[in-house]
Chains A and B, each alone.
Chain A
Amino acid sequence: MTEAVIIGVGLHPFGRFPGKPALDMGADAVRLALADAGVNWPQIQGGYIGSYEVANPDAIVGRLGLTGIPLRGVFNGCATAGTAVALAARAIETGEHDLTIAIGLDKHPRGAFAADPSVAGIPSWYGQTGLFLTTHFFGMKINRYMHEHGISHETLARVASKNFGNAAANEKAWRRTPLTPEEVLASPVLNYPLRQFMYCGPNEGAAAIVLCRADQAHKYTGKPVRVRATALRSRRLGAFEVQSPSFPVGEVVDSPTVDASRAAYESAGIGPEDVDVAQLQDTDAGSEVIHMAENGLCKDGEQERLIAEGATAIGGRLPVNTDGGLLGNGEPIGASGLRQIHEIVLQLRGAAGERQIPGTPRVGYTHLYGAPGASAVTILST
Chain B
Amino acid sequence: MTTRTEQLPVAEDLFTWPPGDDNPLRLIGSECADCGLVSFPAAPACVRCASTESKRRLLADRGTLWTYTTQDFRPPSPPYDGPEAFEPYAVGYVELPGELLVEARLTEPDPDKLRIGQPMRLTLVPYTVRDDGTEVVTFAFTPAEEETS
List 12 A-B pairs, Cβ < 8 Å: A111-B76, A123-B41, A125-B10, A125-B14, A129-B82, A140-B93, A191-B69, A193-B69, A245-B103, A246-B29, A246-B100, A246-B101
Tell me the count of chain B residues lying within 8 A, CB to CB, of chain A.
Answer: 49
Report whether A127 and B70 are in contact in the complex, using a CB–CB cutoff of 8 Å.
no
Residue of A nearest to B90 (CB): A192
Identify which of residues 42-86 in chain B touch chain A, using a CB-to-CB cut-off of 8 Å: 47-48, 66-73, 75-82
If A127-B78, A246-B102 touch, whether A191 touches B116 (CB-CB below 8 Å) is no
A124 at the interface (CB under 8 A from B): yes
Report whether A139 and B70 are in contact in the complex, using a CB–CB cutoff of 8 Å.
yes
If A128-B80, A144-B116, A192-B111 touch, whether A249 touches B70 (CB-CB below 8 Å) is no
Q: Shortest Cβ distance from B15 into chain A, in angstroms?
A: 10
Interface centre among A113, A114, A132, A192 (most CB of B within 10 A): A192
Residue of B nearest to A111 (CB): B76
Report whether A140 and B67 are in contact in the complex, using a CB–CB cutoff of 8 Å.
yes
Report whether A147 and B39 are in contact in the complex, using a CB–CB cutoff of 8 Å.
no
Interface centre among B38, B48, B78, B127 (most CB of A within 10 A): B78
A residues with a Cβ closer than 8 A to B are 111-117, 123-125, 127-133, 136, 139-141, 143-144, 147, 188-194, 237, 244-249
Report whether B111 and A127 are in contact in the complex, using a CB–CB cutoff of 8 Å.
no
Q: Which 5 A-B pairs have the closest CB atoms?
A: A127-B79, A139-B69, A114-B76, A144-B67, A125-B11
B143 at the interface (CB under 8 A from A): no
Chain A residues within 8 Å of B93, by CB: 140
Chain A residues within 8 Å of B116, by CB: 143-144, 147
Residue of A nearest to B10 (CB): A125
Contact with A along B122-144 (1 / 0, CB 8 A): 00000110000000101000000
B residues with a Cβ closer than 8 A to A are 10-11, 14, 29, 37-41, 47-48, 66-73, 75-82, 89-93, 95-105, 111, 116, 127-128, 136, 138
If A144-B67, A192-B111 touch, whether A124 touches B11 (CB-CB below 8 Å) is yes
Residue of A nearest to B40 (CB): A246
If A114-B79, A247-B100, A248-B37 touch, whether A129 touches B105 (CB-CB below 8 Å) is yes
Residue of A nearest to B75 (CB): A130
Report whether A133 and B39 are in contact in the complex, using a CB–CB cutoff of 8 Å.
no
Report whether B111 and A124 are in contact in the complex, using a CB–CB cutoff of 8 Å.
no
Contact of A246 among B78, B80, B103 (CB under 8 A): B103
Q: How many angstroms between the C-alpha atoms of A157 and B55 in the bound complex?
A: 47
Q: How many angstroms between the C-alpha atoms of A193 and B116 in the bound complex?
A: 13
Report whether A130 and B82 are in contact in the complex, using a CB–CB cutoff of 8 Å.
yes
Report whether B78 and A114 are in contact in the complex, using a CB–CB cutoff of 8 Å.
yes
Report whether B70 and A189 are in contact in the complex, using a CB–CB cutoff of 8 Å.
yes
Report whether A129 and B127 are in contact in the complex, using a CB–CB cutoff of 8 Å.
yes
Report whether A249 and B89 are in contact in the complex, using a CB–CB cutoff of 8 Å.
no
Report whether A249 and B99 are in contact in the complex, using a CB–CB cutoff of 8 Å.
yes
Report whether A128 and B81 are in contact in the complex, using a CB–CB cutoff of 8 Å.
yes
Chain A residues within 8 Å of B101, by CB: 246-249
Contacts beyond the supplied A143-B116, A192-B70, A248-B100: 6 A-B pairs with Cβ under 8 Å? A114-B78, A130-B75, A136-B69, A192-B90, A193-B111, A246-B101
Q: Shortest Cβ distance from B139 into chain A, in angstroms?
A: 9
Residue of A nearest to B37 (CB): A248
Q: Shortest Cβ distance from B143 into chain A, in angstroms?
A: 16
If A125-B11, A128-B81 touch, whether A112 touches B67 (CB-CB below 8 Å) is no
Q: Shortest Cβ distance from B77 into chain A, in angstroms?
A: 8
Residue of A nearest to B127 (CB): A129
Chain B residues within 8 Å of A193, by CB: 69, 111
Chain A residues within 8 Å of B136, by CB: 128
Q: How many angstroms between the C-alpha atoms of A248 and B101 in the bound complex?
A: 6
Q: Shortest Cβ distance from A235 into chain B, in angstroms?
A: 10
Q: How many angstroms between the C-alpha atoms of A248 and B40 in the bound complex?
A: 10
Q: How many angstroms between the C-alpha atoms of A193 and B128 in the bound complex?
A: 26
Contact of A131 among B29, B77, B100, B103 (CB under 8 A): B103
Interface centre among A115, A129, A141 (most CB of B within 10 A): A129
Report whether B41 and A245 are in contact in the complex, using a CB–CB cutoff of 8 Å.
yes
Q: How many angstroms between the C-alpha atoms of A114 and B105 in the bound complex?
A: 19
Chain B residues within 8 Å of A249, by CB: 95-101
Residue of A nearest to B93 (CB): A140
Chain A residues within 8 Å of B96, by CB: 249
Report whether B105 and A190 are in contact in the complex, using a CB–CB cutoff of 8 Å.
no
Chain B residues within 8 Å of A130, by CB: 71, 75, 80, 82, 89, 91, 105, 127
